[in-house]
Structure formats: structure tokens, C-alpha cells
Amino acid sequence: MDAISLMMEEHKNIKRVLKVIRKLCIKILNKQEIELEVFYKIIDFVKNYADKHHHNKEEEILFKKISDELGEKIKNGPIYGMLAEHDMGRLYILNLESALEKVKNGDEDAKVDIIANSISYADLLNRHIDKEDNAIYKFGEKNLSKEAIKEVEEKCKEVEKIATDAYIQKKYLKIIEELEEISKY
């Protein structure tokens, strides 16, 4: 298994959902009804696929290995930046959940918060993924020892096995397809 290639494939899946988010926000701007259940599916995807499944591999395996092996400058610079962006994404999703609840309870003004947090999350993640794919991952591949890369591969393989047994990938790939289909209209 090539863990970095797998994480880049997961980035493609995440970007598919980011496109859906943008389309849903355009619908709100065009005064169409807010599809609350669709936003809740997106939040489920973000929390369980993008964050728990994908970011967990980055934070606990790859970034940790890069930091441990390649030193404080990397750990306190680029890796710290990636972790801070993960946290910022989590904040946008938390704020999005709050805005959805407000709209559900009749607060029409919270629609702007749905748009603001959704678009902020999508913009952040698009830029973030580009940095990971084109800088952090390539840096790790070039500079980690063969032993370190092997360790990353083995740990990611374990995470993937657990996720496969729990049907995580299958579930969330199906949700991506559903979201794309819904957002066509």
C-alpha cells in the first residue's frame, strides 16, 4: 500500500464534497430552500471521513513521523501550519452546525452564517489540500528514511483495515455520490 497516494485519493474525495458545498451555498443565495438534511450529511462526511479517517492518518502517523524524524523546524513550521488549518476547519464545521440549528429554529439571519462557514471551510480545505499534496507529502516522500516510510505504510494499512472492516470507505463514497446527485438540481 502506498499511504501517501491513498491520502491523495482521499483528498480527491474530499474535494468532490467541497464542490457540493459551493453549489448548496449558491442555492441559498438564489433564495432556494435550505436543504438541511444535505448539510447534515456533509457534516457527517467531514467529521467521520475527512477528519476521523483521513486527518487521523495525517496527524497521528505521517505528520508525527515527519516531525519526529526531520526535526523541530519542520514540526514547528509547515506541520504546525497544517495542524492549525485542520483545527480551523473543525471550527468552521462547528459554526456551520450552530447556524443550521438556528435556521431550523426559525432564525432566517443565520442563513448568512451557513454560507460564510461553508464557503470558508471549502476555501480553506481546497488550499490546504493543495499544500499537502504538492509540498508536505512530497517533502515527506523525499526526506523520510526508507524505514520511516515503511512504518507509515504499515500504520496506515492497519487504519485502513479497521476502516474497511467497519465499511467506512464504502459508506462515505456512497454518500459522496448521493451528495453529487442531489446537488445537480
pLDDT band at 184 (very low <50, low <70, confident <90, very high): confident
- Range list of H helices, 30-134: 36-45, 56-57, 63-70, 72-74, 80-104, 111-131
Q: What is the b/e burial string over 126-146, where b = at least 16 CB atoms within 10 angstroms of the residue's CB?
A: eebbeebeeebbeebeeebee
Q: What is the pLDDT of residue 183?
A: 85
User: Is the model's pLDDT at 91 over the cut of 90?
Assistant: yes
Region 72-76: what's the mean pLDDT?
92
Q: What is the mean pLDDT of residues 147-158?
A: 96
CA angle 80, 82, 86 (to 5 degrees): 115
Share the mean pLDDT of the chain.
Answer: 96
Residue 165 in 3-state DSSP?
Answer: helix
| Span 163-179, pLDDT tens digits | 999 999 999 999 999 99
Share of the chain above pLDDT 70, in %: 99
Domain boundaries, the chain: 3-183
Q: What is the pLDDT of residue 1?
A: 63
CB atoms within 10 A of CB 170: 11
CATH code for 3-183?
Answer: 1.20.120.520
